[in-house]
Amino acid sequence: MVDAYACIEQERLHWIRNNQAQLRDELYSGLRDAINQGDVMADNVGKMTILPLSYKGGLRYRVQNYQDAMAICRYVGYPDLFLTFTCNPKWSENDYMLEDIDGQKSDDRLDIVSRVFSIKLMELINDNKCRHIFGRVTDVVYTIEFQKRGLPHAHILVFLHSDDKIQLASQVDVIISAKIPDKENDPVAYSAVDRFMVHGPCGILNHNSPCMINGKCSKHYSKRFHDSTLFDDDGFPMYIRRDNDRYILKNVISDEQNSASTSETRIQEHDEIKAYLDCRYISAAEAAWRIYQFDMFYRKPAVERLSFHLPNQQPNYFQGHMTLENIESFKN
């Protein structure tokens, strides 16, 4: 699966590299500066190899999707809910799909795992938009990322109708719980929290945890106890978490460190394709996700992109053999 997608991506990038017709892009003011500095030819101006906006995963693609999400925020306000939906290779649906395939586990068929995650993600979005499990939803934005193990997860922003927005701490307690469930009365919830939702160990118990920065947990664990849910000065909730002697034991294990390094040769400043490929890592799950052309970004409603710019800040596309004076006169 990884080899297949690597061939697909290589072919796409090969086409982009060989069909640029020596096009460059540079802000108009940059061209003016180059002329003032005495440059004559356009060979040393702009980006020599461009990774276009249409290429999924490139810098321009990500920036444009970020701007689309910010446009929604500017129109409807801050999001009300932030949901993280993580893939679980032990879902029963994965086992069901593998029942008739002898000798294979979910780890062997990450294409099936990716498809099941996509179906469940769409169902979660449908639960929010149509079944109103958290209230009436006006807008939804999510992005797909892949964990270090390679499995996908979604970061989801949910915007609620003005009449259903969370205003009181008591409303938070209805939909969010940061408490450890009672092991005797609710063993299923306790098992889920134990396996998937406990951070650490870190701090003095494990100084080598990836979350540790300057001797402290960058995620601010462990959280303080609170007898009731409160809002801080910035409007973020501090969830109810009573000191009731409930706890979960986690084994202290050494984290395996994975590192990637670029080649010793200096990255060419004007080659966006090479910059994109440096330290590029594709897992089998991500390869399957991209081959199936599942969405990496999702936004509802749609956003219409309107091009505008500050005076003398418009992008200009030109060929490398053109002189700067010709480009200047062409734009005028």
Q: How far apart are CA 87 and CA 247, in angstroms?
A: 25
State the CB neighbour count (10 A cutoff) for residue 270: 14
pLDDT of residue 189: 86
Q: How far apart are CA 142 and CA 117, in angstroms?
A: 14
- Give the position of tokens 């990038």: 13
Cβ atoms 198, 248 nearer than 8 A = yes
Each residue's pLDDT tens digit, 172-201: 888 888 888 888 888 888 888 887 777 767
Cα end-to-end span (Å), the chain:
51
**Does the pLDDT value for residue 245 go beyond 80?**
no
Please list the alpha-helical segments (H only) found in 55-151.
Answer: 59-76, 92-97, 110-129
User: Could you give the C-alpha distances from 234 to 116, 171, 223, 228, 238, in angstroms and in order?
Assistant: 38, 18, 17, 18, 11
pLDDT band at 168 (very low <50, low <70, confident <90, very high): confident
pLDDT of residue 115: 94
Cβ atoms 277, 13 nearer than 8 A = yes
Q: What angle do CA 50, 301, 72 make, to 5 degrees?
A: 70
The structure's pTM equals 0.73
- Read off the tokens for 64: 């444009």
Average pLDDT, the chain: 79
In a domain, 45, yes or no: yes
In a domain, 70, yes or no: yes
In a domain, 197, yes or no: no
Q: How far apart are CA 169 and CA 236, in angstroms?
A: 10
- Read off the tokens for 326: 């010709």
Cβ atoms 316, 29 nearer than 8 A = no
Q: Express the helix, strand and coil content of the chain in percent, nearest 5 each.
A: 35, 15, 50
228: nearest Cα among 218, 237, 239, 219: 239
In a domain, 173, yes or no: no
Name the least confident of 62-76, 81-95, 219-233: 219-233
Cβ atoms 178, 240 nearer than 8 A = yes
pLDDT of residue 153: 93
- Give the position of tokens 């699966």: 1
**Does the pLDDT value for residue 256 go beyond 60?**
no
Determine the structural domain holding residue 26 and report its residue range. 2-165+248-256+272-331
In a domain, 242, yes or no: no
In a domain, 140, yes or no: yes
User: Domains in the chain: how many in total?
Assistant: 1
Q: How far apart are CA 274 and CA 267, in angstroms?
A: 8
- Average pLDDT estimate for 119-145: 93
Q: Which of 30-39, 127-136, 230-239 has the highest mean pLDDT?
A: 127-136
**Does the pLDDT value for residue 28 go beyond 70?**
no
pLDDT band at 266 (very low <50, low <70, confident <90, very high): very low
Residues above pLDDT 70, as percent of the chain: 78
In a domain, 68, yes or no: yes
Provide the CB-side half-sphere exposure for 307 (13 A, CA): 3
Residues above pLDDT 90, as percent of the chain: 21
In a domain, 42, yes or no: yes
pLDDT band at 225 (very low <50, low <70, confident <90, very high): confident
